[in-house]
């Protein structure tokens, strides 16, 4: 069994953003030399997500509006977590979108349906944060 590990770093200038990281994850698989196995890709921060969906800007706008409705940022005083912080909503948005994805590797490739893409979902940006890519297989 072989394993591979890499951290991907981000510094999003806005509070929220969705960034397509599919190419970077495929490059990790290429570097690992692993042809059959699983890749785990997870946010290492608790106010960010890694998720799989469509690379379509209209949908990303819809997600942003929808998450704000389900877990509003304002008023920040509504959350007990916000003592010296203002990011309680980001901890909730991340639970809806998820911390991690596990993807099959088949013949050295992300084993994906036609429209599947991996995204880093940032909900409390404007600082350096990272994603872990861990691969196991042969």
- Picking from 25, 16, 39, 24, the residue whose alpha carbon sits closest to that of residue 136 is 39
User: Which is it for strands 48-53 and 2-11: parallel, antiparallel or unpaired?
Assistant: unpaired
Angle between helices 88-97 and 57-70 (to 10 degrees): 120
- Among residues 11, 31, 44, 127, the one that binds a copy of itself under rule CB under 8 A: 44
When the beta carbons of 30 and 106 are compared against a copy of itself, the nearer one is 106
CA 135/CA 40 separation, integer angstroms = 6
Work out whether 125 is an interface residue with a copy of itself (CB under 8 A).
Answer: no
Exactly one of 17, 19, 52, 76 binds a copy of itself (CB under 8 A); which one? 52
> Is residue 93 packed enough to be buried (19+ CB in 10 Å), middle (13-18) or exposed (0-12)?
buried
92 binds a copy of itself (CB under 8 A): yes
Cα 28 from Cα 39, distance rounded (Å):
9
Q: Candidates 10-18, 21-29, 99-107 — which segment interacts with a copy of itself by CB under 8 A? A: 99-107
**# residues contacting a copy of itself (CB under 8 A):** 58
Instruction: List residues binding a copy of itself (CB under 8 A).
Output: 1, 3, 5, 36-38, 40, 42-46, 51-54, 56-59, 61-63, 66, 70-71, 79-83, 88, 91-92, 94-104, 106, 111-116, 130, 132, 134, 136-138
């Amino acid at each position: 069994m072989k394993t591979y590990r890499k951290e991907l770093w981000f510094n999003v200038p806005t509070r929220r953003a969705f960034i397509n990281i599919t190419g970077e994850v495929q490059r990790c698989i290429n570097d690992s030399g692993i042809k059959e196995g699983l890749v785990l890709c997870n946010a290492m921060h608790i106010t960010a997500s890694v998720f799989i969906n469509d690379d379509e800007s209209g949908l990303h706008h819809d997600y942003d509006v929808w998450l704000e409705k389900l877990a509003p940022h304002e008023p920040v005083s509504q959350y007990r977590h916000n003592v010296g912080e203002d990011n309680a909503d980001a901890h909730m948005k991340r639970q809806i979108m998820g911390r991690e994805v596990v993807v099959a590797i088949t013949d050295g490739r992300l084993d994906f349906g036609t429209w599947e893409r991996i995204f880093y979902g940032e909900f409390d940006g404007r600082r350096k944060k990272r994603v872990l890519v861990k691969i196991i297989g042969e």
